C-alpha cells in the first residue's frame, strides 16, 4: 500500500500548522502592543463569566432568532470536530473510518448526528446570507461594513456551506461503495441525510466514486485547515478569542468609571494619604489618556480582535440611534485596523507606531467620541463582553488633558466642578438654597 497519501497529508498538516503558528505569534505581538494590565482577580467569577457568556452563549439569546441559528452552528462546530479528529488520524495512519470498529453500531448513530448538524449548519448559513443580502438587516448593512467586512461575512458562510456539502458527498459515495462490497469501505446503519443524495451518484463506476469520495475527503480536511488559518484574518477570530476575552472581562459595576492610578496616587500623596506600594514619587506620566493603541491596555486591543462585528452594540447605542456619527462597532474595528497597520509596519522593518499616524484623528474622530453618553448600552449588548466605552473614555481623557480640546461647554462644566464643586456656576455655600425655598413654600 502506498504511503504517499500519508506523506502528503503530513506535509499539508505541517504547513498549515506553521502558518497558524506564525499568525498566532503575530496576533499575540499585536495585542501586547497595548499597556500592561492585570486582571486575574476573582477567578471564580471569571470562570463563571466565561462559561456562561462564551461557552453558554448567554447574551446571544436576547435576540432569539439569530441566537438559535448561531447556536446550531456553534454546536455543530464543537461536535463535528470529533469527526475531524478521525480525519486527522486516518490521514496520518492511512486508515479509513478508524473509529468504526471500536464503536460498532453506535458509529452509525454518531454519523447521523454529524449529518443532522451539517444540515443545521447549511440551513443556518443560508438564513444568515438572506438576512445580510436580501432582507438587509439594518445593523448588518451600516457604512463600516462596506468592502472587506461584508465580503468576509459572506465568504465565511459560503465556505461553511461548501464544507458541509463535502461531508454529505463523502458519506453518500462511501456508502454506495460499501454496498457494492468495495474493499476498505464499511456499510453503516442508514445515514438518513446522505442517503437522500445517493441517487446523484448511483450510476457511476466504482473508480469514479472512489475519486469523488477521496476528493471530498481531501477537500474537507484541507478546507478545515485552511479555514483555521483564514479565521485568524477574519472577524470569526472570536471563535477562539471569545473565551479569553470573557475571562478578562471588566467585573466592576457597569456605572463605575475607572480612575487613572497615576493621577490618583499623585493626588493622594499631595493630600498626605498613604499610597500602597512604594513611597517613591510616582513615575512621570508619559501621556494622559489614549491617543494610539500603545496607550490602551492589551485587554482593549484583545477586545478589538474579539469583535464579531455583529453590530448589537451600535444598534443599542442611543447616540447612533439619534443620528450621531458614533458607532461602537466601528470603534472596535478601528482599533483592530490600527493594530494590524502597526504590526505589518513592524514586520516590514518600518516605523511601526512612529509612522506619523494615530488611532485618534486618523481612525477615530473627536466627533465620534464626544457623542458617547457613557451609558454602557454597548457593553451590555455585546455577546462576548467587549468594552468599547473604556476606549472612548481613554481617548476623551487625552483630548481633555493633553490637548485641552474638549467642547467649550464641557470646559465650562469642568471649571465649575473644579471651583464650585458642581456643574453649575454658583457658590458652594448656595448649594442648599433650593431646599430652603422648598421649605418656605411648604410653610405657606
| Tens-place pLDDT, residues 48-60 | 999 999 999 999 9
pTM exceeding the 0.95 threshold for the entire prediction: no
Over residues 265-299, the pLDDT tens digits come to 777 777 778 766 555 555 556 788 999 999 999 99
Tell me the average pLDDT across 288-313: 94
From the CB of residue 406, how many other CB atoms can be counted at a distance below 10 Å?
18
13-22, 280-289, 296-305, 371-380: lowest mean pLDDT where? 280-289
83-97, 259-273, 329-343, 401-415: lowest mean pLDDT where? 259-273
Bridge partners (DSSP) of residue 364 are 360
- pLDDT of 262 > 90? The answer is no
Compute φ and ψ for 297, nearest 5 degrees: -85, 160
- pLDDT band of 417, cuts 50, 70, 90: confident
Compute φ and ψ for 46, nearest 5 degrees: -70, -40
Task: Determine the 3-state secondary structure of 297 from DSSP.
Answer: strand
pLDDT at 444 (0 to 100): 67
Q: Considering only CA atoms, which of 307, 364, 311 is closest in space to residue 334?
A: 364
Rounded to whole angstroms, the Cα distance separating 244 from 31 reads 12
DSSP 182: -
Q: What percent of the chain has pLDDT over 90?
A: 65
Under 8 Å between Cβ of 20 and 229: yes
Rounded to whole angstroms, the Cα distance separating 210 from 121 reads 26
Over residues 352-368, the pLDDT tens digits come to 999 999 999 999 999 99
Under 8 Å between Cβ of 149 and 307: no
333 vs 414, higher pLDDT: 333
- pLDDT band of 378, cuts 50, 70, 90: very high
- pLDDT of 123 > 90? The answer is yes
Rounded to whole angstroms, the Cα distance separating 438 from 444 reads 10
pLDDT at 29 (0 to 100): 96
Cell of 320: 447612533
pLDDT at 70 (0 to 100): 92
Over residues 181-211, the pLDDT tens digits come to 888 888 887 888 999 999 999 989 999 999 9
- pLDDT band of 429, cuts 50, 70, 90: confident
Q: What percent of the chain has pLDDT over 70?
A: 97
- Structure-derived torsion over alpha carbons of residues 167, 168, 173, 175, reported in degrees to the nearest 10: 100
First to last CA, the chain: 106
User: What DSSP letter does each residue of 389-440 carry, written as one string?
Assistant: HHHHHHHHHHHHHTS--S-HHHHHHHHHHHHHSSSSSS-GGGTTHHHHHHHH
Tell me the average pLDDT across 303-316: 95
263 vs 50, higher pLDDT: 50
144-158, 175-189, 295-309, 313-327: lowest mean pLDDT where? 175-189
DSSP 55: I
Instruction: Please give the mean pLDDT across all residues of the chain.
Output: 90
Amino acid at each position: 500500500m502506498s504511503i504517499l497519501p500519508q506523506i502528503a497529508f503530513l506535509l499539508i498538516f505541517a504547513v498549515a500548522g506553521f502558518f497558524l503558528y506564525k499568525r498566532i505569534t503575530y496576533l499575540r505581538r499585536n495585542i501586547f502592543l497595548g499597556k500592561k494590565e492585570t486582571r486575574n482577580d476573582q477567578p471564580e467569577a471569571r470562570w463563571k463569566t466565561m462559561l456562561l457568556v462564551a461557552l453558554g452563549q448567554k447574551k446571544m439569546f436576547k435576540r432569539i432568532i439569530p441566537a438559535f441559528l448561531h447556536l446550531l452552528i456553534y454546536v455543530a462546530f464543537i461536535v463535528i470536530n470529533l469527526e475531524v479528529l478521525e480525519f486527522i488520524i486516518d490521514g496520518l495512519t492511512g486508515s479509513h473510518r478508524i473509529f468504526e470498529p471500536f464503536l460498532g453500531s453506535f458509529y452509525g448513530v454518531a454519523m447521523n448526528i454529524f449529518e443532522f448538524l451539517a444540515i443545521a449548519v447549511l440551513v443556518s448559513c443560508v438564513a444568515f446570507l438572506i438576512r445580510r443580502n436580501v432582507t438587509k438587516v439594518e445593523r448588518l448593512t451600516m457604512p463600516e461594513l462596506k468592502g472587506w467586512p461584508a465580503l468576509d461575512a459572506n465568504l465565511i458562510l459560503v465556505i461553511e456551506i461548501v464544507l458541509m456539502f463535502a461531508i454529505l458527498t463523502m458519506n453518500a459515495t462511501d456508502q454506495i461503495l460499501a454496498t457494492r462490497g468495495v474493499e476498505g469501505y464499511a456499510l453503516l446503519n442508514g445515514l438518513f441525510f446522505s442517503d437522500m443524495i445517493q441517487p446523484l451518484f448511483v450510476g457511476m463506476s466504482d473508480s469514479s466514486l472512489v475519486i469523488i469520495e477521496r476528493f471530498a475527503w481531501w477537500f474537507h480536511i484541507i478546507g478545515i485547515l485552511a479555514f483555521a488559518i483564514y479565521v485568524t484574518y477574519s472577524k470569526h477570530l472570536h471563535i477562539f478569542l471569545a473565551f479569553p476575552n470573557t475571562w478578562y472581562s471588566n467585573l466592576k459595576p457597569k456605572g463605575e468609571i475607572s480612575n487613572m492610578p497615576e493621577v490618583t496616587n499623585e493626588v493622594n500623596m499631595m493630600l498626605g494619604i498613604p499610597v500602597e506600594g512604594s513611597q517613591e514619587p510616582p513615575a512621570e506620566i508619559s501621556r494622559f489618556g489614549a491617543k494610539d493603541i500603545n496607550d490602551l491596555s492589551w485587554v482593549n486591543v484583545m477586545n478589538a480582535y474579539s469583535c464579531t462585528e455583529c453590530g448589537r452594540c451600535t444598534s443599542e447605542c442611543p447616540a447612533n440611534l439619534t443620528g450621531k456619527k458614533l458607532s461602537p462597532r466601528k470603534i472596535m474595528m478601528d482599533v483592530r485596523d490600527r493594530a494590524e497597520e502597526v504590526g505589518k509596519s513592524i514586520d516590514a522593518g518600518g516605523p511601526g507606531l512612529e509612522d506619523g499616524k494615530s488611532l485618534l484623528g486618523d481612525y477615530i474622530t473627536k466627533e465620534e467620541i464626544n457623542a458617547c453618553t457613557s451609558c454602557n448600552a454597548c457593553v451590555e449588548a455585546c455577546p462576548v463582553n467587549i468594552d468599547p466605552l473604556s476606549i472612548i473614555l481613554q481617548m476623551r481623557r487625552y483630548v481633555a488633558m493633553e490637548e485641552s480640546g474638549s467642547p467649550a461647554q464641557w470646559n465650562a462644566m469642568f471649571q465649575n466642578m473644579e471651583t464650585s464643586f458642581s456643574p453649575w456656576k454658583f457658590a458652594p455655600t448656595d448649594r442648599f438654597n433650593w431646599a430652603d425655598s422648598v421649605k418656605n413654600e411648604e410653610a405657606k
